[in-house]
């Protein structure tokens, strides 16, 4: 399973790189807006910093606008994955980009048949949003499970990129299901390293070490 960081913050991305487990980055317009910086500046910096795939999202709502933006986004780096919202127009854009060999990530997936359509259009990744479904009382992990079952059934090559991940249990369940990629907010990256028994165990070891004659 690959780990992407879901962030547009250069500090957070650098922090994730320093942990040595970062495979790529996903961003969205809300994450970019939080940085307070111009989009093209942030996008170029991230693409330069990260070796793996970087998902940058289009904001146009017609296929024509999306394709125009995709062309611009790809100038920021050869690792740019064009992130496209799950719309009929989006599917048209995915089909055209996939024919040109340009990688895409279809985002805002909330039901399995959306993921089926994205795969048929030739998407490289699909992003089911787990946490946002949980927030409205639906089972986000069930969505991921259904997508994996459908993709396996028809041997689709599209990768499942679990998004809107809120806590380590989401990550654990995704790993058990064989999800290809999880994209994590930096907070969850840190949560994954923690256990209270690790902290108390280390405290005891270090205290006992002081009693050892060296």
Q: How near is the Cβ of 207 to ligand E4P at its closest, in Å?
A: 39
User: 88 near 122, Cβ under 8 Å?
Assistant: no
Q: Does 3 bind ligand E4P (CB under 6 A)?
A: no
Q: How far is the C-alpha of 187 from the C-alpha of 74, rounded, in Å?
A: 29
Question: How big is the site for ligand E4P, counted in residues (CB under 6 A)?
Answer: 11
4 DSSP β-pair partners: 24, 183
Helix 88-99 and helix 63-73, axial crossing angle in degrees, nearest 10: 50
104 is a contact residue toward ligand E4P (CB under 6 A): no
Q: Which stretch binds ligand E4P (CB under 6 A): 64-72, 85-93, 111-119, 125-133?
A: 125-133
Question: Of residues 15, 132, 186, 191, which one binds ligand E4P by CB under 6 A?
Answer: 132
Phi-psi region for residue 34, left (φ > 0), alpha (ψ -120 to 50) or beta? alpha
The answer to whether 114 contacts ligand E4P (rule: CB under 6 A) is no
Nearest approach, Cβ of residue 201 and ligand E4P (Å): 32
Binding flag, residue 181, ligand E4P (CB under 6 A): no
Tokens matching residue 160: 């499942």
Q: Identify the sign of the CA torsion 51, 177, 157, 98.
A: negative
Catalytic status, residue 14: no
Beta strands in 58-103 (DSSP E): 80-85
Ranges within 133-172 binding ligand E4P (CB under 6 A): 163-164
The helix (H) or strand (E) run that includes residue 55 is: strand 54-57
CB of 57 to ligand E4P, least distance (A): 8
Catalytic positions: 83
Residues of the shown chain interacting with ligand E4P in the complex, contacts defined by CB under 6 A: 6, 26, 28, 107, 127, 129, 131-132, 163-164, 183
């Amino acid at each position: 399973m690959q780990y992407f960081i879901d962030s547009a913050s250069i500090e957070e991305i650098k922090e994730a790189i320093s942990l040595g487990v970062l495979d790529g980055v996903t961003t969205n317009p809300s994450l970019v807006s939080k940085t307070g910086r111009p989009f093209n500046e942030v996008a170029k910096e991230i693409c330069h910093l990260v070796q793996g795939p970087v998902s940058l999202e289009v904001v146009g709502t017609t296929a024509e606008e999306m394709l125009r933006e995709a062309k611009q986004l790809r100038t920021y780096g050869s690792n740019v994955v064009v992130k496209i919202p799950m719309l009929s127009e989006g599917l048209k854009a995915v089909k055209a980009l996939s024919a040109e060999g340009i990688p895409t990530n279809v985002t805002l997936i909330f039901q399995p048949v959306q993921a089926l359509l994205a795969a048929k259009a030739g998407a490289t990744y699909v992003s089911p949003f787990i946490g946002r479904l949980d927030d409205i009382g639906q089972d986000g992990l069930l969505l991921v499970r259904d997508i994996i079952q459908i993709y396996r059934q028809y041997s689709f090559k599209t990768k499942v990129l679990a998004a809107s991940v809120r806590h380590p249990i989401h990550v654990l369940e995704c790993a058990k299901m064989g999800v290809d990629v999880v994209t994590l907010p930096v907070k969850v990256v840190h949560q994954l390293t923690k256990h209270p028994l690790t902290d108390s165990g280390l405290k005891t070891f270090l205290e006992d070490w002081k009693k050892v004659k060296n």
